[in-house]
Amino acid sequence: MQETLLKAAHPGTRPRRRNAWIASLLLLAAAAFLVYRGRQAGFDLREFALALRSVHWGWIAAAWLAGLLTYVGRTIRWMVMLRPLAPSARFRDVLSSTVIGFTAVFLFGRPGELVRPWLIARATGASFPSQVAAWVLERIYDTLLILAFFGYALASSIRIHPSAGPEIRWLLARGGWIIGLTALLCLAALVLLQHWAPRFEQRIVDGLGFLQSHHQERASRLVRAALDGLRAARSGTAIAQLLFWSVVEWGIIYFCFHFTFLAFPETATLAPTQVLAYIGFVGIGSIIQIPGLGGGFQVASILITTELFRVPMEVAASLAMLNWIVAFAGAVPFGLVLAVREGLRWGQLSDIEKEALS
């Protein structure tokens, strides 16, 4: 039963490898473009070091603390989805699993995403399929909200360098409205889907009638277990709580990046819409992630700051590095300590699919 869910969460090996190759090629092309621009601009390592020395480390510390606070926000939101399934679940257990889970993502890349729902299921007694469903639901809320904010930032005619042509300005403005409206429509559709989930569940179960009795029973259990992760969002109160904590979460993320921008004189005057646009671009870029190194995040960060805001390449590289450390690596030391305290083996976490199936 769980194997079927894991296959759904991780599509076939061939498409996954093909997509990985495509993503890697795009990342290499973007990196090559940055190297080319860096050579054209005369990238200077001394200027890069000077940019780091001129950083206001007090703002970086504030950004790091805000980054740590995002894990608390994620935990509170997850508790909303978990309460109907595990009323006795403890906040500290879910918080610990959350920090360890994101540390696994940093160390192992996207395959580590399943670590968090697996740890939460183990700590709270909830079923693993229900927590995978909760993870999917969380990702949907995050994606839709970042698209909404990203669309608003672009539609608000973000301030870009005067050298940008009218075509880019028109594309950003129109594209922003399209992205924002599409995200809001999808969010409304998601709310409706969650509200009418019981009917969809019964229809899916009824549609499995063509299977043999023992297969039908197993498939029905899988459907019900997977939809358990949506049960918390079937009331208006729960939906409002999920929306509220999602907005709070992304508000904290905004301040995490904004504090880092304040640490650099060249980016301290960026408007909120520019920061939101930056978050949108790096959020999309972070889909491509090399374990322990990042990749897409840094490339997207440098591209947006140099091409749209005309920040010097050396400053853009420094900003990308510090933002990545604060946003992605800031909790790794805590995750390692918590994993040791829980008696977890990192080899076990890196092979989470086999562990989940056992």
What is the DSSP code string of 122-154? HHH---HHHHHHHHHHHHHHHHHHHHHHHHHHH
Task: Answer for the pair 124, 109: CB distance below 8 angstroms, yes or no.
Answer: no
pLDDT of residue 348: 61
Q: Which of 111-120, 269-278, 299-308 has the lowest mean pLDDT?
A: 299-308
Using the 8-state DSSP alphabet, how is residue 208 labeled?
G
Share of the chain above pLDDT 70, in %: 59
Dump pLDDT digits (tens) for 307-321: 778 888 888 888 988
Helices 272-285 and 128-155, packing angle to 10 deg: 140
CA distances from 27 to 31, 159, 162, 292 (A): 6, 26, 28, 16
Residue in 275, 263, 280 with CA at minimum distance from that of residue 309: 275
Q: What are the residues facing 295 on neighbouring strands?
A: 289
Task: Quickly count: other Cβ atoms within 10 Å of residue 163's Cβ.
Answer: 8
Residue in 176, 327, 155, 334 with CA at minimum distance from that of residue 252: 327
Task: Quickly count: other Cβ atoms within 10 Å of residue 354's Cβ.
Answer: 9
Confidence check: pLDDT of 74 > 60: yes
Residue range 70-87: mean pLDDT, rounded: 91
What's the CA dihedral at 166, 172, 178, 179 to 10 degrees? Answer: 170
Confidence check: pLDDT of 71 > 80: yes
β-strands 289-290, 294-295 pairing: antiparallel
Residues 194 and 186: their CA atoms lie apart, in Å, by: 12
Residue in 122, 89, 121, 117 with CA at minimum distance from that of residue 101: 117
pLDDT averaged over every residue in the chain = 74
Give the pLDDT band (50/70/90) at residue 11: very low
Q: What are the residues facing 289 on neighbouring strands?
A: 295
Q: Which two tokens stand for residue 177?
A: 């409205």
pLDDT of residue 312: 87
Q: Which two tokens stand for residue 197?
A: 């989930």
Task: Answer for the pair 356, 2: CB distance below 8 angstroms, yes or no.
Answer: yes
Q: Could you tell me which residue, 6 or 229, shows the higher pLDDT? A: 229
Q: Could you tell me which residue, 118 or 209, shows the higher pLDDT? A: 118
- Classify residue 12 as left (phi > 0), alpha (psi -120 to 50) or beta: beta
Q: Which two tokens stand for residue 151?
A: 């669309």
b vs e for 65-74, b when ≥16 Cβ sit within 10 Å of the residue's Cβ?
ebbbbbbbbb
Residues 152 and 179: their CA atoms lie apart, in Å, by: 8
Give the pLDDT band (50/70/90) at residue 142: confident
pLDDT of residue 100: 92
Share of the chain above pLDDT 90, in %: 20
Task: Quickly count: other Cβ atoms within 10 Å of residue 63's Cβ.
Answer: 25
Q: Which of 139-153, 206-220, 242-256 has the highest mean pLDDT?
A: 242-256
> What type of residue sits at position 332?
V
Confidence check: pLDDT of 21 > 60: no
Helices 128-155 and 115-124, packing angle to 10 deg: 130
Residue range 8-30: mean pLDDT, rounded: 49
Confidence check: pLDDT of 61 > 90: yes
Confidence check: pLDDT of 254 > 70: yes
Query: Up-side HSE of residue 305: CA atoms within 13 Å toward CB?
Result: 29
Task: Answer for the pair 306, 164: CB distance below 8 angstroms, yes or no.
Answer: no
Residue range 20-27: mean pLDDT, rounded: 51
Give the pLDDT band (50/70/90) at residue 347: low
Residue with tokens 């980054």: 67
